[in-house]
Amino acid sequence: MSTMTIPTSRIADILKKLGVHAENRGVSTGTHWMKGEGPALESHSPVDGALIGTVRGAGRAEYEQVIATARRGFEQWRTWPAPKRGEVVRQLGEELRRHKADLGKLVSYEMGKSYQEGLGEVQEMIDICDFAVGQSRQLHGLTMHSERPEHRMYEQWHPYGLVGVISAFNFPVAVWSWNAALAWVCGDVIIWKPSEKTPLCSIACQQITAEVFKRNEVPEGVSCIVNGGREVGEWLSNDPRIPLVSATGSTRMGKAVGAAVGQRLGRALLELGGNNAIIISDKADLNMALIGCVFGAVGTAGQRCTSTRRLIIHEKVYDVFKQKLLKAYAQLRIGDPLDERNHVGPLIDKAAVDLYLNALKEAKEEGAGIVVEGGVLSGAGYESGCFVRPAVVEVKPDMAIVQEETFAPILYLLRYSGDVQEAIAIQNHVKQGLSSAIMTLDLREAERFLSAAGSDCGIANVNIGTSGAEIGGAFGGEKETGGGRESGSDAWKTYMRRQTNTINYGASLPLAQGIKFEV
């Protein structure tokens, strides 16, 4: 009956502390775990290739049971006052604080990002819980003046109900929390389909959440996980009982989800690919710019949707900045991400390594110049075959490889010679529109970059890099990035339906627009 094997490895104690035991299964409605009849998902660490555990995914019967339980849970949960729901989320944030170190290590080991980045991801979960607590007392509508006497108009917001969340491997816990914390205070319930590449992180999150929910007598079905393969995502996308599906991943995946949800006139929140650029002006502080560029390019081994893919550098500082990059890349330490001395960990799996190698091959075939040679690392410490060297490549804007997002640490260098508008045009000349940045000390350049004629991305930064978004701002992008917004600002409205109300407190019934109707 066991659906998970726990190896005797350095991560075994952490799994036990997080409640990830052999009796755990891959499908849950809160405190209740089900034996999945779907495919077995093997979680291999990209750090050393070890099998961490095997999780049995959901079959159709378990999926239907989850949906039924979630619908019952929603009927109760929506009646709780929003501040009371917020109090539950506050306690979840406190519980995450207690488990931060262990969950951060699990994220690092199962996904491959550095331990510091794993801790940072859990901190994002804590931050969104804190944000959602305050938001639970501010789910406000508007009041409007009616054109009819003795009438009052206002709008209010109600929860949608079931919210499906499809998350990617690169942020195996944070993206779920961005959606879940806000959706919960809004009165929705969550059905989470985690990445099949990082299933253990989802089980740990569910165990932590279940403890908090149990103490507060939250109805079963408010927090559900449905591990599985592509078919589970298709079930969620095509299910008319789920009015909102939030999906994070590739543009290809997002188009499929968007089409399926749109076909049934549901709502989709899509956070898809990024092909992010930093403009390096000749008026930039080059030393400060270097930090943002290098971390943006190699952080999480280039597997962030906000990773820096392109540097658009003014010709006056091109050679100087390239030399700074060469020096910085020569100092990068690649290895075990749980060793805090290392800067770069592994790619998620060998399929990602193949994509990395193919991108470098295509770049060379198009005539690109290799500035920092890439390649797969081997030998002691690199036995998993997932460690690669961050590469730097000189390209031209119209090269085909530059138009695509390669989820790997490949940084493309482009040159511009004119004013900032030329650089902005190069930046915008891709299909994706997530994150962007300019490094400049010139106020006019900065403001032009942020203007309506500037960056066409959902995120536009000045003198910081493309990655590392804060919880308080709405996160998302335009064009093939999908157009969705998560996290801060008024993103909570995504998880609720708007209702306009008119109350007649007079003794007659005048019609709008002065229409006369006598009976």
Task: Give the pLDDT confidence score for residue 23 in this predicted structure.
Answer: 64
Give the whole-angstrom CA distance, residue 178 versus residue 491: 10
User: Looking up tokens 């749980």, which residue turns up?
Assistant: 338
Give the whole-angstrom CA distance, residue 151 versus residue 509: 10
Query: Among the options 271, 405, 445, 486, which is catalytic?
Result: 271
Q: Among candidates 96, 463, 98, 130, which has minimal Cα distance to 279?
A: 463
Can you tell me the mean pLDDT for 248-258?
97
User: Looking up tokens 């198009």, which residue turns up?
Assistant: 366
Phi, psi of 266 (to 5 degrees): -85, -175
Would residue 271 show up in a list of annotated catalytic residues for this protein?
yes
Task: Give the pLDDT confidence score for residue 5 in this predicted structure.
Answer: 45
- Contact 200/106 with Cβ under 8 angstroms? yes
Checking if the pLDDT of 72 tops 70, the result is yes
Kind of pairing between the strands at 40-44 and 51-56: antiparallel
- Contact 73/223 with Cβ under 8 angstroms? no
pLDDT, tens only, 321-361: 999 999 999 999 999 999 999 999 999 999 999 999 999 99
Give the whole-angstrom CA distance, residue 56 versus residue 35: 7
Checking if the pLDDT of 469 tops 90, the result is no
Task: Give the pLDDT confidence score for residue 8 in this predicted structure.
Answer: 44
Give the whole-angstrom CA distance, residue 372 versus residue 379: 21
Query: Can you tell me whether residue 45 is helix, strand or coil?
Result: coil
Per-residue pLDDT band at 40 (split at 50, 70, 90):
very high
Can you tell me the mean pLDDT for 31-54?
93
Can you tell me the mean pLDDT for 279-285?
98
Q: Which residues, in sequence order, are bridge partners of residue 226?
A: 27
Percentage of the residues of the chain whose pLDDT score is greater than 90: 94
CA dihedral for 20, 23, 25, 29, sign (positive or negative)? negative
Task: Give the pLDDT confidence score for residue 25 in this predicted structure.
Answer: 84
Checking if the pLDDT of 2 tops 60, the result is no
Per-residue pLDDT band at 518 (split at 50, 70, 90):
confident
Would residue 201 show up in a list of annotated catalytic residues for this protein?
no
Query: Among the options 129, 305, 386, 457, which is catalytic?
Result: 305
Query: Can you tell me whether residue 51 is helix, strand or coil?
Result: strand
Checking if the pLDDT of 274 tops 80, the result is yes
Percentage of the residues of the chain whose pLDDT score is greater than 70: 98
pLDDT, tens only, 430-463: 999 999 999 999 999 999 999 999 999 999 999 9
Give the whole-angstrom CA distance, residue 222 versus residue 72: 9
Task: Give the pLDDT confidence score for residue 3 in this predicted structure.
Answer: 44
| Helix or strand run (H / E) with residue 225 | strand 223-226
Q: State the average pLDDT for the chain.
A: 95
